[in-house]
Amino acid sequence: MSTNDQHIDPTLDLYSGAIFTAIGLGAMITARNYPLGSIDRMGPGFFPMVLGAIIATLGIMLIVKNLEGFRQARRRKHAAAPDPEVDSSRRVGMLRAARSMLFVLGGMTFFALTIEHIGLLLSVIGLVIICSFAETGMKWRSTLLLALFMAALSAAIFRYGIGLPLQLWGN
Amino acid sequence: MEFIDHLALGFGIALSPETLMYCFIGVTLGTFIGVLPGIGPLATIGLLLPVTFHLPPTEAIIMIAGLYYGAMYGGSTTAILLNLPGTAASVVVALDGHPMAQQGRAGPALVMTTLVSFAAACVAIVIIALFAPPLAQFALRFGSPEYFSLMLAGLLGAAVLVNGSLIKGIAMVILGLLLGMVGQDVTSGIPRFTFGSMSLYDGMGFVVVIIGLFGLAEVLNNVALGEKRERFVGKVPWRDLVPTRKDLRDSAGATARGTGLGSLLGLLPGAGPAMSTFAAYAVEKKVAKDPSRFGKGAIEGIAAPEAANNAAAQTSFIPTLSLGVPGDATMALILGAMMMHGLVPGPQIVTSSPDFFWALIASFWIGNLLLLILNLPLVGIWIKMLSIPYRIMFPAIVTFISIGMYSLHLEIFDVFLAAGFGLVGYLFIKLRCEAAPLLLGLILGPMVEENLRRSMLISRGDFSIFFTRPISLSFLILAVFIIAIVLGPGLYRRWKARAA
């Protein structure tokens, strides 16, 4: 619940605040292109402008509220002796996150770019294979089996079950 | 009794073989997907929503409602077995459910949740049948100011329930409203925030946003976590499945209290199931002779919140259907799905499509009965689901997401948009920004703006219109009240600490 917010890292709230501020300002700048109107006859720019202003304000509030905590956290980090173990586990974590994003989103991109050309079956097979690289220790045998199974399953559900006009093999 | 006739009409439709089949498919698939860790009711419904678009409206919504119940039950299963609650509502069930599982009593815990849910459903259906039509009658008198204030209360309620700072919760709601602005403005026809893309002209498909923020983001997060994911390795022996007589006796009172509390809180816009589970748990702890048992596997600690959750989940259909204002993110999703099927929720729905309305309500009860029948023999299979390695599961989930998004409008753009929102959602997870309030804002956005514009037009720009109309004023008071309930105890404690 909203009351027990003591446990959250002030750094995270500070970053969130910065992002909200940026989004708010961005929205306000974009909304300037639309007629504002007046309070009794609001134009299409009015509500987005108000919303942008509110988000930007909330973002600034978050920044101000967490600035002190953020400084303390940084000071503590600088004061403590650099711990190579923590650093390397952080690096492993970040690499893993980057890998997860690269291959999962890469697989989806492959699917999106090929579905209308090589057909559902090959597109899904490619998607599953690319996705599987997101985890370390990928095994070709089980991945290929899964890819074939998913291709058959999606054809059964989406092409024959729901009757979507999907090409199985492309044209 | 008029409401018995109505229910008879509803059951007549809902019990037809075809409708019954879709309800069955919904409940089964919902549980099946909902059991998967990290896939909450929102992602489950979003994932299967594309499938329902090809059904007639009544069948589609009944199947979606089935998905909802199934997914909630599946979520409780994961919460109990893995201590991985997928939603705010199942956080509480895990408090005593997981200790029970650790003591080897997972079977009774899981069976109890179904029994209790069914008991709550039996009460809630009567409440819906009794109160939804009069509420709809009452809501016919609502004008734009009333709707605006009501939605404001709902949005604040959603923001307040967020785990973490209230400022972040409100910012997420507003961000949702802002995303709701994308597309052509209804009044002036001017495209907003489309950045020259024709694909954004009709606004951002909420299914795409949900799947990105709740489905894909979880996949990205789980894959990134690698070995740190929790895994269920225990077994649930069949003979230990049945709750003991003592379990049943202990939970009877808790079930009744939870049902009452849940039914009541479900009616509040924005409160919904999440708040009712917290409240029910707190009440049980208060009335218990030995409160120290809680958190260590007390059966009342499962029965009361689960009953409250289920009762609230159902009674929250009352504001969703008869006012057109959803209580929480999941309700907002169901509301959005109804609109895609051309059913406009609101006061008119009870009178203009009575067969749809009553069939849906009858299907709630049938869905819960199906859950009860299904789960007694199938608990073992759901548990098996949890031991499927993630390595196999996530490529399958990503495949369904990709095809599902493409199948919406046969648009490649939707796949990219979902991928983009997946990335944004992952960022939100890392920043501890809960995305559920955003969804409520996204779906309510256009309605909030329209009602605000109209109110200002009526009052010639005078904001006092919201305070001088009694119904509107009471919604605003409700909004203040919701904030006070949640912030009150903390502030009071802080104030006392300062005074001491």
| Tokens, residue A24 | 């708010």
**3-state class of A37 per DSSP?**
strand
Which chain B residue shows the shortest CA-CA distance from A3?
B490
Q: Interface pTM (ipTM) of the complex?
A: 0.89
Q: Which of A1, A35, A101 sits opposite B220 (nearest CB)?
A: A101
Residue B228 pLDDT class (50, 70, 90 cuts): low
Contact B449 A47 (CB under 8 A): yes
Chain B: nearest CA to A79, how far in angstroms?
25
**Closest CA–CA distance from residue A82 to any residue of chain B (Å):** 24
Which chain A residue shows the shortest CA-CA distance from B419? A105
Share the mean pLDDT of chain B. 82
| Chain B closest-CA separation from residue A54 CA (Å) | 8
User: Which residue ranges make up each domain of chain A?
Assistant: 5-80, 85-161
Summarised one tens digit per residue, pLDDT across range B204-214 is: 777 888 888 88
pLDDT band at residue A106 under the 50/70/90 scheme: very high
**Mean pLDDT, to the nearest integer, of B420-440?**
88
Give B-chain residues touching A28 at CB under 8 angstroms: none
- Our measurement of the distance from residue B50's CA atom to the centroid of its chain's CA atoms, rounded to an integer in Å, reads 18
pLDDT of residue B330 exceeding 50, the answer is: yes
pLDDT tens, B8-45?
888 888 788 888 888 888 888 888 888 776 677 777 88
Determine whether the interchain pair B224/A100 forms a contact, defined as Cβ–Cβ distance below 8 Å: yes
Helix (H) or strand (E) segment spanning residue B397: helix B390-409
| 8 Å CB contact between A20 and A12 | no
> Within its chain, how far is the Cα of B440 from the centroid?
11
Q: What are phi and psi of B424, to 5 degrees?
A: -60, -45
Determine the length of chain A: 171
Q: If you average pLDDT over residues B138-161, what whole number do you get?
A: 84
DSSP symbol at A159: I
> What's the total number of domains in chain B?
1
CA dist B81 and B91 (Å) reads 12
CB B71 within 8 A of CB B89: no
Q: Which domain holds residue B259?
A: 2-499
CB contact under 8 A, A115 and B412: yes
Which of B129, B115, B80, B127 lies closest to B369 in space, CA to CA?
B115
**Could you tell me the pLDDT band of residue B231, with boundaries at 50, 70 and 90?**
low
